Structure 1
Amino acid sequence: MLSKYICYTFLFASVLGIESLNAQSPRMKTEGIALGGLISKDTYLSPLNYGGKIIRYYNETNRLQSTLIGHKYFDAQLGSLENPAGNAKMYVLDARLQGAKQVPLYKGSLGTLYAGPGYDAGIGGLYNTRNGNNPATFHADASLALSFGYAYRLPWQACPILIRLSSQIDLLGVHWGQDYGESYYEMTYLSKSLDKKFNLTHWGNSYRQDIRINLDIPVYNRLIVNVMGGASFHNWTVREIENRRKAYFIGIGFTNYMKSIGGKQWLSNNNSIPF
């Protein structure tokens, strides 16, 4: 039990370290709405694969801090899925927050490649219209992750489109959820041990990866349109419950830049922004 709490403390401290970004640094922010498809399986609710459509709000920020790049991504999605026979539905509602500090590995005429440690945290649930005894499930998780990024601006003076690729892979974390067949009444009122519902996750019982590609397209001198496409894969088996998710989506939004007023020191340290 002591080793488990030590691990939780280490994860929390790591997240705080990643989040300590300089508020006065130049920043690029992207917001948009995406549509896509989701295939999901949760054996707590049903042994079948459910498939359907999702709508997602996404918010991404890249911030330059000295030689590091602070990356943060948030999304919230709502989905409606059906079983193969089409006689039962499952509704999905969840949100995720990711962050990372990335070090440039290469910077040249071919673009900028960077990587670094990060975190990934999520919360959400599922509701099944056909499961009468336990129709809903709730989950929460947090992980340390490895983050990668690439940026390249096309050398077109008339339309200098910025291409951005990003990917994040979870390494080690914790997951909170109920046991197989356990109702929320049993979990909250009978067991009286919600802290025992935490489980360590690793590549042996959990795998999660997100992949995104962004095109930031300047429209004359008025705005920057963002076109985003991506996929996410999340598989885990905890407390005899198996969960599988595959999501694909494409979105459109807007990107804006913010630069602080810092005088001569800011100009000398930030004369070249890699995004």
Structure 2
Amino acid sequence: MKRIVSLLIITLYLSSSLAAQEDKGEQPWSVNEATLVGAGGYNIKDSYLSPLKYTGWGLRILNERMKMTRLANYNVSRQQFINLDLAFTRNPAETASSFAGFADYSLGYHYHFLPDPNLKILTGASLKGLFGFIYNTRNGNNPASAKAEIDLNLSAMAIYRLQLKEYPVTLRYQVEIPLSGVMFSPHFGQSYYEIFNLGNNDGVVLFSSLHNKFGIRNYLTADFPVGNFTIRAGYLNSYYNTDVNGIQSHIVSHSFLIGFVKEFVSFGGKKLKKTNSYNSAYY
């Protein structure tokens, strides 16, 4: 009799576990997308162009998408960033100016830990590609410096939901640090004409890691409802420093951002019509 009862309990447990897993997979996952615009201060130095630090302001546009994947029984999310920023800076004496523009795309995967019903801890890695330039209006022979790189980043995130007198607010902090990658850099004093026209390109594509490059991106956001919309306000701090081929680069930015968030399910037809609810990777 005891054996029969034990087998019955085990059978019921396995059935409920399978049903829960099936519901988790069948319940659709939404895409959390946010587009933000912002402005802030920039501090830029590139010794290929000038030994001085140039400071000023810049504009930024940021698009982010997050969605759960099937990996590890729907415990891993995918995050995509598209970032565009443009900065205008001047030297300390205000006798010369420079323009800088950067575009980067990153794709990351994070495993979700749920230590509390209102708290998510995410850890993982991301692959990031960046292309940009710094143009100095004072230089004649070498007026511009190009930036191109691909990095493998370590990434971690904490998302916390709280109620402020029945007003819901979702806070998020994310940090990313480049671990290793490849980057492009001319040698000090070497012109781009030598590299691309004369073929003197030895050592301009090199391995980067913590020994010659350090960077960190801190991203803090708050989501809150305003009428029928969800607003996301954020602060992004980016620090970037390299020392390669006799050239030191230093790019620091502080951006304050604001924009809209939307959640949507990326399928249609009969499956969508039968769906009354969805799971969110973010909230």
Does residue 208 of structure 2 align to residue 201 of structure 1? yes
Shift of 1:47: 0.3
Mapping of residues 36-185 of structure 1, within 5 Å: 36-65=40-69, 66-156=74-164, 158-185=166-193
Does residue 257 of structure 2 align to residue 248 of structure 1? no
Partner of 2:225: 218
Spell out, residue by residue over 1:31-64, the C-alpha distance to the aligned partner (whole angstroms, 9 max, x if none). 0111000101100000001100010011111111
Spell out, residue by residue over 1:139-169, the C-alpha distance to the aligned partner (whole angstroms, 9 max, x if none). 1001111111111111357421111111111
Spell out, residue by residue over 1:100-126, the C-alpha distance to the aligned partner (whole angstroms, 9 max, x if none). 100013341351011002112110001
Return the letter of the residue paired with 1:177.
S
Deviates more, 1:161-170 or 1:84-93: 161-170
In 2, distance between residues paired with 1:44 and 1:52? 19
Q: Is the 8 A contact 2:29 2:280 kept in 1?
A: no
Partner of 2:36: 32
Partner of 2:13: none
In 2, distance between residues paired with 1:127 and 1:179? 17
Partner of 2:240: 234
**Which residues of structure 2 form unaligned runs of 5+?**
1-27
Deviates more, 1:100-109 or 1:54-63: 100-109
Return the letter of the residue paired with 1:236.
T
Spell out, residue by residue over 1:152-211, the C-alpha distance to the aligned partner (whole angstroms, 9 max, x if none). 1113574211111111110000001222111121111112547x5210000000011111
Identity of matched residues, %: 27
In 1, distance between residues paired with 2:178 and 2:102? 18
Spell out, residue by residue over 1:222-258, the C-alpha distance to the aligned partner (whole angstroms, 9 max, x if none). 1111111120000011111100111101011100001
In 2, distance between residues paired with 1:187 and 1:161? 52
Q: Is the 8 A contact 2:34 2:64 kept in 1?
A: yes
In 1, distance between residues paired with 2:249 and 2:193? 22
Return the letter of the residue paired with 1:216.
D
Return the letter of the residue paired with 2:108.
A
In 2, distance between residues paired with 1:110 and 1:170? 29
Flag the 1:28–1:192 CA change in 2: closer, same or farther, 3 A: same
